[in-house]
Every structure is written in structure tokens, then in C-alpha cells.
Chain A
């Protein structure tokens, strides 16, 4: 049984039948009795004061129940949205966080900002009535460009120069000293383009207030319903936690964007009491483009110092990070603690110094997006590694290998302590699979056909399984980042696992059940995974940062240990043997050295009927809970190699070959892991070649639909060659590292390194669209002509 459904088996996803036959239950499928519909009137301006807001005509329109504004929020003492991670400036002072009301109070700060909500019998009526709201805007200059943001008008009074924080990490003096001793210094300027998440399911919410019990229920598209409840209760002040239930049913993709607590969800749950009716809102695609938290958006200058042999001496990095118009829930930590500590990459770097400025602009808030900080770090590290190898005339693979961390544990100069890894092993396998030694032949073949061929490496590392609570607490996090689990064994031996993790595409209903099937020796179909409802599941922290395996499953594993321990006690009574003689193996409790045994289900029944022991000896029942707080991050790593072919006549880049070798530690379900890698690479290739949010100088989002925002498509991608190496994580019981973000982290620099190799210079920004590549080729051609 465990061989086909246990750890390491490619079990088909249990949840997929439901999803692909249209039986999933998403938030938009939730329809409550008497439900009304919300439409949000949004700001058409990037930056404006609200001189007058008159909703009286809209309130009288057909079907309208109410029109609510920031004044009504204030009247009801509903607090603003929060940022849950305090970052301190270089001088120790706290970051400057402007207020973030769920409906504008006197000012709007980006196109799409929430001005008022219209609640009506139908969505169409709400939309019609919105046209009757009269807003008199005092338009202010937009602040779009990070480089000039400090000269623009203040977006929030608390931050007159539009700087949220000016933060640093590392040893400045040691780094300066390293640069003094350098034989060679490589410099690079990089832009990490802004992305829009585009989960297949747009955000949605249904707020439902029960006047009888005074309980609010919020159905919402959340990756972490307990955190949503905590924030809505403790900070926003909707209701105390025991009077607020948050349900995140099936969720169709998140990529980080559904971690955060947004205005719309907050307003729907609050308004349901106001209007005395359930209130529903589902974003349309344009709203998703405008108001989902965006990702990335960095400008970076980096310098790498090397000695005469090409050993790295020091690394210094200066980054400006666009945080948008308001600080979203975890935005402050993404370009700081989720970014800078990854800048050591897979390399032994003696000294690192990083400075990061967080900038307010009149654009949508920017927060964690698949990889969150780590793709940005990897892009900087792997681009400058490639460039350095080129400048030193060294083979990029050999240059990396020379600088790899080779002994573990390894303490970097930027917080992280890598527990384990074998970077050369991944590189060796990747070089072999990519047929690196014959690249030259392939390049010649391409040249014969008038095409430019290039190859690019990315030897990435990431930190997953966020995170030891005490550690993140000391860095400014407002919460602990453990996970919880409860294993409920039913009297017949079937099992329900209640997990604080949340699945929105990852396949937890399968992988978590595999763990249970493996450990308890029971049929995988006797296991169900329960998640996403604060009334059913104990407090948990949710899913992001590739933490559901390494942290979420570790909690389940701990709870299973307790179930087995209790089962042994029950079995000792039922089998009339000493507890220390009871063994548990392959789903049976047996008395050592005898043929006396009971199946897991029989022991479960004994636990519940409690005929063989008294309550004084042992509590009846078989149900155990556990909280698991990791002792370290986990450090997945790997090597991706991208080979591109460019048509110089059009600038079109074709990915000819993709090799990915990843070390995720132990793997529960190889098929699901490969799927995560595929999706991650597609997203990373999306960033490298296609995607880019573009605001014009007035702060209008030009890429607010699929007419202009380019998503990667199947025909843009080759068939991936996937390989795995394994150094099991040493700090969690299952040896898992996490795989959810690796592809998106690894791939952008691999693509750009390949393109720059093909075109022969470094001057190209993401997304490397046909226009960008063609333009870059023109500039190299003209440079050659000039030389």
C-alpha cells in the first residue's frame, strides 16, 4: 500500500476530479440567501484629493441598498489595513507607514483605489448607480518613477520624500575592505520588472452577518484564512475572533496575491451587517489587474569583487524597491528580509553589504509574489555571476563551481545558515543533461540558419519553510510562522487531518494524505484533508513561501507520532501486553515476538469503545494535535540551464532547451513536484520574456488587460528536462525543503543570461520582448559599426 500511495509515489491528484469536472466550490460559487452585490467605485486618477463625494443620487437609484464611503468606515470605527512586518531604518527609526483605509478618506493614491462601495440587489444595479456618484477630485501629480519619487508630492504625509524605509544588512566596513583588495570589480545595473499575479480565479468575497448569533462569516479567496481573521479582528476591528468565521473554500491559484487582507473583502464583511444582507463581490479581470498586489519592481546596482583567480571577495548591492501606494500586508519584508539574506546565493562570499530603499509611488501596492524577494535576489546574483565569468574570460559553470559553498552547515554574512546541499552535484547533472559540451556545435548550426544561439545558467538558492518564529520575530514580524495540525482518527480507523496550511492548487489533499497513508499504513482513500475554515480547523498560518511541506507536513508528522504513541497504549490494553512490547508497523500494532496483533482500525475502535481500559488509566478517543515551529529555514537549490535561439530579423526569442536540476530534499510526490517546477519555470519565463506591468507617466495602468499584458503560453515553452538531486533537509522530520517557488526563482536569470550570451552584450531588460531584443541587437550592431 505505502509503495503505491506513500511517500515518494506519484499518486494522481485526488482533488483533480472535482476541479476538472467543474465540481469545485470556489468563493464565487457561494450564494447566500438574500445576498446583495457590491460594486466598488474606483479612482480614475493616480493621485488626487477628494474635494467632494456626493452619494445621495446613487443611494436613491433602483435596487440600491446602500452606498458606503470612508466616512462610514470611520463612523463605525473600522480600522485601516495593516502591514504586519516592521522594518527599521539604518538609524534605527521605524519605517513610515501611511494609513490604509479600506475606502478612501480624503485622498486616492492609485488608479483603482477604492472610493466608495455601492450595494444593490443586483450587480448591474450597483454598477448603474456608481455612475450617479459625484466625485470632485483635486488631481495631484502622479509619482510613478522610483528614481524621481523623492521629488514628487508626498503620497502620505508621514513620508514627505516618499521613502518608506532606508534599510541595510551586512558588514559595510568588511565589504569596503574586500573591494579594496579586489583584482577585478564587476558592475551591473538591473531592473526587476513589475508583475501582475493573474491567478486564474479572481479575488472574491461574500460577507454574511448573522444577527441572531452576532457572528460574521467571510467566504474569501485566501491562502491563509486564520491570518485574515486575526487581522480583521484584532486590527481592523470587524468583530472579536470568536464572532468571525473565515472560510477559504477552493481557491484557484494565489501565487502570493491571496495572502493579503484587501479592502474589498474587508468591506464586504463589514457591509453585511450595515445592510443586514449577505454582500458578494467578485473581481472582474480589470479589477484584478488594477488592485491585486503586484510583484517585484526593483532597480538595483550591484558590484562583485573578485581576486586574481576569480574567487569572490565581496558583494555590494543597492536596491530601490517600489512598494506602491500603500503598504500591503507583508510588503515591507519582501525587499528586505526575504531578499537581502539570499544574496549570498550558492557561493562562499566573505563579505556582503546591501542597502534597500522602499519607495512609495502612486501605483498598486506591491507585495509577495511567487518567490517573494528570492527571485529578485537570484536575478541579481546570477546575472552578476554570469557577467563576471564573461569579464574574466572564465567558463560560467567553472566560475560558479569555484565559488560554490562546499561544506555545511554554512553561515553566510547575511543571516542565513545553510544546513545542507551539494551544489556541484546539481551542476554536474545539469551540464550532462543539457549536453553542454556540444553547445558550440549547436550554436554553429543556428548561425548557419541565420539565428543567434545563447546559453545561460542560473544556480539558485532559496529559503523556504518560513520560518523559525523567534527568528522572524527578532527581525520585525508581527506573527510567528509555525504551523498546526490535528489528526482525528474516527472509530472505524479512517482519518481526518485538519491543517493550518491551505491548498490553492498545490495538491495538499493528495500529498498530505500520502504522508498519513505511509505512516499509519492505511488506504489513502481513508484519509481526508480539511483546511480553509476557521470554525473547523485550529489556528494555523497558511500557505506561502513553499512552507506547506516543510512546516505544514512536519506538524502533521508530529501529530501522527502522537497518534501512534497513543495507539500503542490502547493496543497494550486490548492485546493485554506491556506498552513497551507493542510495535507499530505496516498499519498493525503487534506484541513483539508473538503473532498477536491488531490492525490500525481495530485499535481506533478500541480507543473509542474504551471497553478494555478505564478512563483513569487512559483517556478514550484517538485524536492528537501538534504545532510545529521550524528551527531553521530550508534551502532548496539547483541549477537551471536555458538555451535560446534568437531570430535577429524580428527579435523573437525561442527557448530551444531547458534543463532544470533541483535539490528539494526528500520528495513526497514526484509528479506533483515536477508540476510545480513546470509552472514555476513558465512563470519565470513569463517574467523574463513576456510580462511587465506598465504605468504611463500619469499613473494609468497601460497593461490592464490581456490585450496588453502578455502571459506566457504553452507554445512559448519547450518540453522541460527535469532532474533531481537530494540532500535531505536536516532540520525537519521529513527532510523536505520545498518546491513551490523554485522554478520562478531560478528561471529569469537563466533566460537573460542566455539572451545576453546570444547577442553579445549585457544591455537588455526584462521582459525581453521581440521589440526589446531587436532593439538590443540594433544597438550592438551599431556599436560594432562604430568600433
Chain B
């Protein structure tokens, strides 16, 4: 790890000011991604702006027909939240399946989304549930937020403040883990709200999370696992590594989607 300066602002506004003043600064949330990369000397921010003490960044509430989760809310808190468990149980289950207990007790939803790891779980929920990312500057719809792996619509000095999830009528997340890291190798979040069904896939795309047009089309008429029988997903544009070829990932997407739909219907 290289040397850096450390700041602990009390408000998001102060955090944004500090970001403006320190060109190579990074905000620090749970540190579960940022600190390991710094230890490996792959990242060398000049300053860390710790959001841990900034007011108003954590907590979960229902606002109208949405569940709103503060950016600094830990995975463990989402997993065990009665509010989330009641309104969007699929989201609580997803949070409970991230990493291990240590990771879940430190890692945050804001950090996970800002990082946009192509195998992270949360991006699939945000995309399938058609959530809105609320920053210190604006509101970003899910469809515009994710811009390829490790890249998002966030601009310099922009901090995620909260995420607003519309409550779906049916939803479920099914994760097929990478055997080594247990990140998603293919993770599928399905959500039905009114007449719209959205299917978001993480872990598989070489450009990060994406919506599966094939699966969405198949489920449009009828939200039922059987609707996915025979659905073929193209291998082009999918990741290939020692754990899974792109053909295997393509095969898994409808298989896992089917399991997610079955799970959503069981609830």
C-alpha cells in the first residue's frame, strides 16, 4: 500500500468538496474492494475520503411504493432488514448471499454499485427492479447507470447517496457461483411489476450486467418457468475463462433464469 491522506467528512457535501480538492482521491465505503486493491498496489489514491461518519447515508425505509436504501447500508443490514424482507425478499436474499459474513458486515450497497464488478450481485437487482440511483447531484435510472465493467455513469466528485427500488409483484435472484471466488458466474435477477418483466444477468457478460432480451421476450406472455424452455442465448459477448466458457455461460443463463422464475412464483 502506498501512502495516502485520510479524511472523515461529516456530510456528503464535505465529502464532495474534499473530492474536488484532491484530484486522485477516492471515497471509502466498506473497503472490501478498495483496500485489497490498494494493498496489492493496484490502486494508489492520494486521499481516502471515508464515508463512514457522513450523515444520512445509511438506513432503509419505505417511501410510497419504493424501498429506499442508503448507500452506506451494509449487506448484512439489507439481508436482515424486516422492511426489505417484507417488501422485496429477493433483495434481502441476494444481500445475504454476498461473500462471507466479514464481507457482508463491511461491504455496502453504494460501494458495490459504484464499483460495478461484472460479477457482483447487486447490479442485477438494480437493473431488474428498475431502481434509481440517487447521488449528491442527480437521479440516475438503472438502465443508464451501468456502463460496462467497472464503469458507471458516476462523474468525478459524484457520490451515491441512496438507491430507490420500486416494489415488484414478483421477484427472485438465483446465483450460480464461480466455484473459487463464489462471486456470480451467472446470476439472474427476475422481476415482474405490472405487465413488465425484467431479467438482469450478472457474472456472464464481458461488459458487465445486462438485460437478457431472449429471456424477457419469453417471459413476456407468461411469467412461468416453462416459458423459458428452449430459449437460446448467444455466446457472443459473454465471458470466457478457466471456470466457464462463453458457451457454458450462454447455456446457464436460461437454466438459472428458469430457477429464478420458479423461486419467484413459489413466494
Bound-state Cα–Cα, A650 to B179, Å: 12
Q: Is B83 part of the binding interface, using a Cβ–Cβ cutoff of 8 Å?
A: no
Q: Chain A residues with Cβ under 8 A from B251's Cβ?
A: 774
How many B residues have CB within 8 A of the partner chain?
14
Q: Are B181 and A707 in contact (CB under 8 A)?
A: yes
Closest chain-A Cβ to B163's Cβ sits at a distance in Å of 26
Q: Are B242 and A650 in contact (CB under 8 A)?
A: no
Q: Are A708 and B243 in contact (CB under 8 A)?
A: yes
Q: Chain A residues with Cβ under 8 A from B242's Cβ?
A: 694, 702-703, 708
Q: Are B255 and A649 in contact (CB under 8 A)?
A: yes
Enumerate A632-676 residues with CB–CB distance to B below 8 Å: 649-651
Bound-state Cα–Cα, A771 to B177, Å: 12
Q: Are B180 and A708 in contact (CB under 8 A)?
A: yes
Q: Are B243 and A769 in contact (CB under 8 A)?
A: yes
- Give the residue of A127, A711, A771, A775 whose beta carbon is less than 8 angstroms from that of B243: A771
CB contact under 8 A between A708 and B181, given known A650-B252, A694-B242: yes
Q: Chain A residues with Cβ under 8 A from B243's Cβ?
A: 708, 769, 771
Q: Is B1 part of the binding interface, using a Cβ–Cβ cutoff of 8 Å?
A: yes
Closest chain-A Cβ to B193's Cβ sits at a distance in Å of 28
- Give the residue of A127, A707, A775 whose beta carbon is less than 8 angstroms from that of B248: A775
- Give the residue of B41, B180, B245, B255 whose beta carbon is less than 8 angstroms from that of A709: B180
Bound-state Cα–Cα, A702 to B180, Å: 12
**Which of B176, B180, B243, B255 counts the most chain A CB atoms within 10 A?**
B180
Q: Are A650 and B245 in contact (CB under 8 A)?
A: no
Encoded as 1 (CB less than 8 Å from any B CB) or 0, chain A from 746 to 780 comes to 00000000000000000000000111001100000
Q: Is B67 part of the binding interface, using a Cβ–Cβ cutoff of 8 Å?
A: no
Q: Chain B residues with Cβ under 8 A from A690's Cβ?
A: 179-180
CB contact under 8 A between A124 and B180, given known A702-B242, A775-B248: no
Bound-state Cα–Cα, A710 to B1, Å: 26
Q: Is A706 part of the binding interface, using a Cβ–Cβ cutoff of 8 Å?
A: yes
Enumerate A666-720 residues with CB–CB distance to B below 8 Å: 690, 694, 702-703, 706-711
Closest chain-A Cβ to B180's Cβ sits at a distance in Å of 4
Q: Is B244 part of the binding interface, using a Cβ–Cβ cutoff of 8 Å?
A: yes
Bound-state Cα–Cα, A92 to B33, Å: 56
**Which of B181, B245, B248 counts the most chain A CB atoms within 10 A?**
B248
Bound-state Cα–Cα, A711 to B244, Å: 17
Closest chain-A Cβ to B183's Cβ sits at a distance in Å of 8
- Give the residue of B1, B41, B180 whose beta carbon is less than 8 angstroms from that of A706: B180
Enumerate B38-81 residues with CB–CB distance to A below 8 Å: 41
Q: Chain B residues with Cβ under 8 A from A706's Cβ?
A: 180-181
Q: Chain A residues with Cβ under 8 A from B255's Cβ?
A: 649-650
Encoded as 1 (CB less than 8 Å from any A CB) or 0, chain B from 176 to 193 comes to 100111000000000000
Q: Are B1 and A124 in contact (CB under 8 A)?
A: yes
Closest chain-B Cβ to A206's Cβ sits at a distance in Å of 23
Bound-state Cα–Cα, A710 to B181, Å: 7
Q: Chain A residues with Cβ under 8 A from B180's Cβ?
A: 690, 703, 706-711
Enumerate B215-250 residues with CB–CB distance to A below 8 Å: 242-245, 248
Determine the main DSSP class of B at the interface with A. Answer: loop
Q: Chain B residues with Cβ under 8 A from A708's Cβ?
A: 180-181, 242-243
Bound-state Cα–Cα, A578 to B245, Å: 82
Q: Chain A residues with Cβ under 8 A from B176's Cβ?
A: 650
CB contact under 8 A between A770 and B1, given known A649-B255, A650-B255, A708-B243: no
CB contact under 8 A between A774 and B179, given known A694-B242, A702-B242, A769-B243: no
Q: Chain A residues with Cβ under 8 A from B181's Cβ?
A: 706-708
Q: Chain B residues with Cβ under 8 A from A127's Cβ?
A: 41
Q: Chain A residues with Cβ under 8 A from B245's Cβ?
A: 771, 775
Encoded as 1 (CB less than 8 Å from any B CB) or 0, chain A from 122 to 146 comes to 0010010000000000000000000
**Which of A650, A651, A702, A709 counts the most chain B CB atoms within 10 A?**
A650
**Which of A651, A694, A708 counts the most chain B CB atoms within 10 A?**
A708
CB-based nearest B residue for A711:
B180
**Which of A650, A707, A709, A771 counts the most chain B CB atoms within 10 A?**
A771
Q: Chain B residues with Cβ under 8 A from A650's Cβ?
A: 176, 252, 255
Bound-state Cα–Cα, A650 to B244, Å: 11
Q: Are B179 and A769 in contact (CB under 8 A)?
A: yes
Q: Chain B residues with Cβ under 8 A from A710's Cβ?
A: 179-180
Closest chain-A Cβ to B51's Cβ sits at a distance in Å of 26
**Which of B1, B179, B245 counts the most chain A CB atoms within 10 A?**
B179
Closest chain-A Cβ to B184's Cβ sits at a distance in Å of 13
Bound-state Cα–Cα, A690 to B255, Å: 22
Q: Chain A residues with Cβ under 8 A from B244's Cβ?
A: 770-771
Bound-state Cα–Cα, A601 to B1, Å: 59
Closest chain-B Cβ to A649's Cβ sits at a distance in Å of 5
Bound-state Cα–Cα, A706 to B252, Å: 23
Closest chain-B Cβ to A667's Cβ sits at a distance in Å of 35
Bound-state Cα–Cα, A426 to B250, Å: 46
Closest chain-A Cβ to B120's Cβ sits at a distance in Å of 13
Q: Chain B residues with Cβ under 8 A from A770's Cβ?
A: 179, 244
CB-based nearest B residue for A127:
B41
Bound-state Cα–Cα, A775 to B176, Å: 17
Bound-state Cα–Cα, A711 to B243, Å: 14
Bound-state Cα–Cα, A649 to B244, Å: 14
CB-based nearest A residue for B251:
A774
CB-based nearest B residue for A707:
B181
Bound-state Cα–Cα, A771 to B185, Å: 11
Bound-state Cα–Cα, A468 to B244, Å: 48
Closest chain-A Cβ to B220's Cβ sits at a distance in Å of 23
Bound-state Cα–Cα, A690 to B1, Å: 32
Enumerate A699-747 residues with CB–CB distance to B below 8 Å: 702-703, 706-711
Bound-state Cα–Cα, A212 to B148, Å: 63
Q: Are B1 and A771 in contact (CB under 8 A)?
A: no
Bound-state Cα–Cα, A59 to B66, Å: 60
Closest chain-B Cβ to A54's Cβ sits at a distance in Å of 21
Bound-state Cα–Cα, A649 to B243, Å: 16
Bound-state Cα–Cα, A124 to B248, Å: 43
Bound-state Cα–Cα, A771 to B240, Å: 11
Closest chain-A Cβ to B233's Cβ sits at a distance in Å of 14
Bound-state Cα–Cα, A614 to B180, Å: 70
Bound-state Cα–Cα, A694 to B241, Å: 11
Closest chain-B Cβ to A62's Cβ sits at a distance in Å of 11
Q: Chain B residues with Cβ under 8 A from A769's Cβ?
A: 179, 243
Bound-state Cα–Cα, A710 to B179, Å: 6
CB-based nearest B residue for A286:
B40
Bound-state Cα–Cα, A304 to B100, Å: 47
Closest 3 CB pairs of A and B: A710-B180, A707-B181, A710-B179
In the assembled complex, 8 residue pairs joining A and B whose CB atoms fall closer than 8 Å, in A order, are: A127-B41, A690-B179, A706-B181, A708-B181, A769-B179, A770-B179, A770-B244, A771-B245
Q: Given known contacts A690-B179, A769-B243, A775-B248, what 4 new A-B pairs fall within 8 Å (CB)?
A: A649-B255, A650-B255, A702-B242, A708-B181
Q: Which B residues fall within an 8 A CB radius of A?
A: 1, 41, 176, 179-181, 242-245, 248, 251-252, 255
Q: Which A residues fall within an 8 A CB radius of B?
A: 124, 127, 649-651, 690, 694, 702-703, 706-711, 769-771, 774-775
